Chain A
Amino acid sequence: MKVLNFYPERCTGCRECAMACSLVKFGECNPRKSAVTVIRDEFKRYEYAVFCLQCDEPVCVDVCHQNAYTVEDGVIKHDDDRCIHCRLCAAMCPYSAITVHGKDIVKCDLCDGDPTCVKYCATDALVYEEETKEMALKRKEMVERILGTP
């Protein structure tokens, strides 16, 4: 199964992913109204894209008492007609991957299997791909770093 992967070392912080996402979803260019948010700080010297990771056991689905979230082929989709904009999903998401903009809830739905953000990423920092060995190794390294394992 394909997943949306992010490689921070390739990200330049340009936000074209977010510009394209907001344009596709809302017809406007607005990096604060996008399902992918580039968090960056040039003084702290980082840039990082935050987006829905399509969890296997999604908190957003569990906490939504309006059943505005459904899982279709592994993709968690948000139905704005059911949504009452309580923003509980955004508050509870452990990855802060759900964007709230005014009354709008913006969440990545992988654009029906053809993510727009990936198409406009000039450096392949965002890639829609099968789980790779590189990512698996990276994940292992990250866990070990967090746990302080030598």
Chain B
Amino acid sequence: MITFLWTACISLKKGKQVLDRKIGIVNLSRNSVKILDMPKDIRAKYLGGRGINTYLLHKLLRKGVDPLSPSNVLILGAGLLTGTLVPNSSRFNVSTKSPETGFLGDSNCGGFFAPEMRYAGFDHIILKGKAKKPRYVYVEDGNIEIRDARDYWGMNTNDAQISFRKDLGDVEVACCGTAGENLVRFANLRTGVKNSAGRCGTGAVMGSKNLKAVVAYGTMGLKIKHPQKLLDVVKEVEDYILGSKITPILGSVGTPLLYEVSNELGAIRTKNSQLNQWSDSLNAENIEKEVEKMIGCSSCIVHCRHRNKLGGEGPEYTSVGLLGANVGIDDVKQMIELQNIANDLGLDVSSAGTILAWAFELFERGMIDEKMTGEKLEFGNFEQARSLLHDIAGREGFGDILAESTQAAKKFGKKSEDYLIAVKNLPQSDPHDVRYIKAFALGIATASRGADHLRSRPTLEIFLRLPKEVKERIYGKGVSLDPTSYEGKEKTVVFSENIFAVIDCLGICKFICHGFNSPHFLDYPRFETLLEAATGMKYGRRKMEAVGKRVVDTERMFNIRQGLTRKDDTLPKRYFDDPMPLGAPKGHHIDRKEFDGMLSRYYKLRGWDEAGMLAPSRVEEIESVGGLP
């Protein structure tokens, strides 16, 4: 049964312009919808996607908002080039105040939803308030409706999406699972079988609003400013990327190839980072046996996503590490099954694998006991891990405590924080133990949403034989070639943070962009050409990089307003105090004094003061960006 509660309609000439997509504001408390044009100043300063989301979030949220209250907002924002011929332009960001961290919640996601949202007429959808009863938001060709979701509430992400398609046709869906409905602090927002705005509890915020999904159907194409130019540039770029060494590997085995790289180096998070090496049974060659076909997101030329034989998609490297090595599992099928379950329930695999491992170690150390957990907890127990994932999503038994993510420390006791692999209350995203490569360590310490590699991972640091001149050309002079040195590493992080922010504004996958997998992929000049061909907007290198800087600074302002200080730009205690026990990195850890010096240099390079605060003139400049009524 579908009830039409409120409809807003805009007259959008079909296929008018790539720049004509709107901002939809949905107030679930008031059952109202408002549609706005994109203010030119905001577009110019932040381009789209993560940038505009960040701006909107900063403008809309005051200090101290409870993330699970109706006062929080959830913003879906497509990249400026998303849904075009530009390779791998499938992406959008979901931004909110995170219920997992209390700071910025922001997550980037691929798949097919974001292009559909744009074809339906919208670049950004802001979800405010809280519905009295379960609702979903339906978006089609310039219209937004708030509809009854009682038929979908209680479903997990696969069933919900299958049901929406059965009822509404060829739609794309971004929804929460039961984990989101039950306000699990690391519940995610999912589209398709595996794609998710996984981090920071976006699904919990959706659930807190009594909102099951945003559903999109669009027929309004994105008119391209210079079609032939775009065709030409894309052809050139595609041929180049497809001709590289790394692309065919990513296209055949996907990100699990990184497991072997990290594991051989001796830098795979194992059993809550008590160890740093694990079984080679989880290597990509073994995962490949469980793969039916490799598939892609919208406009993707890399196709790194596995359709696995166990009924799901994936695994990514994050699942291999965190639902494998980190929880002590070495069986490929078991690991894949855990990630399939987490995906369906709508749980973030990175947080899930980190929180489970944390609890297992605390139990082993006797810091929590069966009175709390209901059973003996142990690493490597597949059945137990599987049932705990279900219990977390349902908030049943001990799962109810784990569902609090890092905030479970309130129940586990202050001392438990010493064993928690998290920064800014966010469990570390990727399975790489960053005690060895110092630039990686700084990156997860400064990442605006907490411990995360997708904000800045200067992956090139892992290539030990990268020529000096290549490194200098990218990051500037003074960056040590030694990955274990702290010297100049702030330059690699600042460069990466800026360019990654631009990539997220444009809506392109990092896999084909400079610095993430290869120093030769899409760089600022390519972005400029693609942007100009698609939209007519002219940006030089400096102006483009300035967007990235502005996004990082705006995120910093948001976080500072929510109480962030220098002490939050840090690392898990274990990374400082416990040397790595195995392999080549044996004995390596992060030196507090060296780290502190690196952080100060990072602040200086960013133009922030010693306390990590922005200059008043910069705050004023950012606050003056305007246009939102």
Contacts and interface: CB of A to CB of B under 8 A. Distances in A.
A148 to B, nearest CB: 25
Given A43-B193, A120-B234, A14 B298 contact: yes
A30 B303 contact: no
Interface in B197-233: 218-224, 227, 230-231
A142 interface: no
Interface in A4-56: 9, 12-16, 19-20, 22-24, 26-33, 41-43, 45, 47
A139 B218 CA distance: 35
B408 interface: no
Interface in A78-129: 101-102, 116, 119-120, 122-123
Nearest to A121: B301
B331 interface: no
B161 interface: yes
A16 B223 contact: no
Given A14-B300, A43-B161, A29 B234 contact: no
A13 B293 CA distance: 11
A27 B292 contact: no
Given A43-B165, A122-B242, A12 B294 contact: yes
Contacts of B222: 28-30
Given A14-B303, A32-B119, A122-B242, A23 B193 contact: no
B220 to A, nearest CB: 8
B85 interface: yes
Given A19-B85, A23-B231, A43-B162, A14 B296 contact: yes
Contact of B192 (A14, A24, A42, A122): A42
Contacts of A122: 238, 242, 301-303
B241 to A, nearest CB: 9
A43 B83 CA distance: 21
B246 to A, nearest CB: 14
Contact of A43 (B115, B158, B235, B238): B158
A120 B224 contact: no
Interface string B398-417: 00000000000000000000
A18 to B, nearest CB: 10
Given A20-B85, A30-B119, A14 B219 contact: no
A28 B158 CA distance: 32
Contacts, number: 98
Interface string B482-500: 0000000000000000000
Interface residues of A, number: 31
A45 B119 CA distance: 24
Interface in B152-185: 158, 161-162, 165
Interface in B291-324: 292-303, 307, 313
Contact of B219 (A13, A19, A32): A32
A14 B301 contact: yes
Given A19-B84, A42-B313, A43-B158, A28 B299 contact: no
Contacts of A116: 231
B578 to A, nearest CB: 42
Contacts of A24: 227, 231
A43 B87 CA distance: 24
Contact of B230 (A16, A23, A33, A45): A23
B224 A29 contact: yes
Nearest to A10: B293
Contacts of B234: 20, 120
A30 B292 contact: no
Interface string B253-295: 0000000000000000000000000000000000000001111
Interface in B550-590: none
B15 interface: yes
B14 interface: yes
Contacts of B295: 12-13, 42, 47
B14 A102 contact: yes
A15 B221 contact: no
A120 B85 contact: yes
A45 B385 CA distance: 27
A108 B497 CA distance: 44
Nearest to B235: A119
B85 A30 contact: no
Nearest to B16: A28
A24 B235 CA distance: 13
Given A19-B85, A122-B242, A41 B219 contact: no
